[in-house]
Amino acid sequence: MKLAVITDSSAYLSDESRGHDNLFVLDIPVVIDGVSYVEGKNLTAEEFYQKMEASSELPKTSQPSIAELEELLPQLEAKGYTHVLGIFLSSGISGFYQNIQYLKEEFPNLTIAFPDSKITSAPLGWMAEEAIKWAGEGRSFDEILANIQMQIDGTSAYIMVDDLNHLVKGGRLSNGAAILGNLLSIKPILYFNEEGVIEVYEKVRTEKKAIKRLAEIVKEGTADKDHQIIIIHGNALDKAETLRDILHQEGFAGEIPFATFGSVIGTHLGNHSVAISFVPKV
Hey, which residues does 35 pair with through a beta bridge?
32
| 238, 120 contact by CB (below 8 A) | no
| 160, 272 contact by CB (below 8 A) | no
Angstrom distance (rounded) from CA 56 to CA 1: 50
CA angle 140, 193, 195 (to 5 degrees): 60
Q: Are residues 118 and 10 both part of a single domain?
A: yes
Q: What is the pLDDT of residue 28?
A: 93
Q: Are residues 10 and 143 both part of a single domain?
A: yes
CB hemisphere CA count around 116 (13 angstroms): 18
Q: Are residues 19 and 145 both part of a single domain?
A: yes
Average pLDDT, consecutive stretches of 10 residues, N- to C-terminus, the chain (282 residues): 96 88 95 90 89 88 93 97 97 93 96 97 96 97 98 96 66 54 70 89 90 95 91 95 95 89 86 94 90
Angstrom distance (rounded) from CA 141 to CA 112: 10
Q: What is the pLDDT of residue 180?
A: 55
Coil, strand or helix: which one is 179? helix
Q: Has residue 48 been placed in a domain? A: no
Q: Has residue 46 been placed in a domain? A: no
Q: What is the pLDDT of residue 186?
A: 75
Q: Are residues 131 and 177 both part of a single domain?
A: no
Q: Are residues 134 and 162 both part of a single domain?
A: no
Q: Are residues 16 and 95 both part of a single domain?
A: yes
Angstrom distance (rounded) from CA 100 to CA 209: 41
| 126, 119 contact by CB (below 8 A) | no
CATH of the domain at 96: 3.40.50.10170
Q: Has residue 43 been placed in a domain? A: no
- Among 125, 154, 183, where does a domain finish? 154
Question: pTM of the entire structure?
Answer: 0.91
- Among 94, 124, 154, where does a domain finish? 154
Which helix (H) or strand (E) covers residue 73, if one does? helix 66-78
Q: Are residues 217 and 149 both part of a single domain?
A: no
Angstrom distance (rounded) from CA 231 to CA 248: 13
Structurally, how many domains does the chain consist of?
Answer: 2
Q: Has residue 85 been placed in a domain? A: yes
Q: Has residue 37 been placed in a domain? A: no
| 114, 86 contact by CB (below 8 A) | yes
Q: What is the pLDDT of residue 187?
A: 82
Q: What is the pLDDT of residue 51?
A: 93
| 91, 8 contact by CB (below 8 A) | no
Q: Has residue 117 been placed in a domain? A: yes
What is the distance in angstroms between the CA of the first residue and the CA of the last residue of the chain? Answer: 21
Q: Are residues 194 and 220 both part of a single domain?
A: yes
Measure Cα distances from 202 to 177, 181, 242 in Å: 11, 11, 20
CATH of the domain at 260: 3.30.1180.10
Q: Are residues 119 and 219 both part of a single domain?
A: no
- Among 154, 172, 206, where does a domain finish? 154
Q: Has residue 34 been placed in a domain? A: no
Print the domain residue range for 172.
156-280
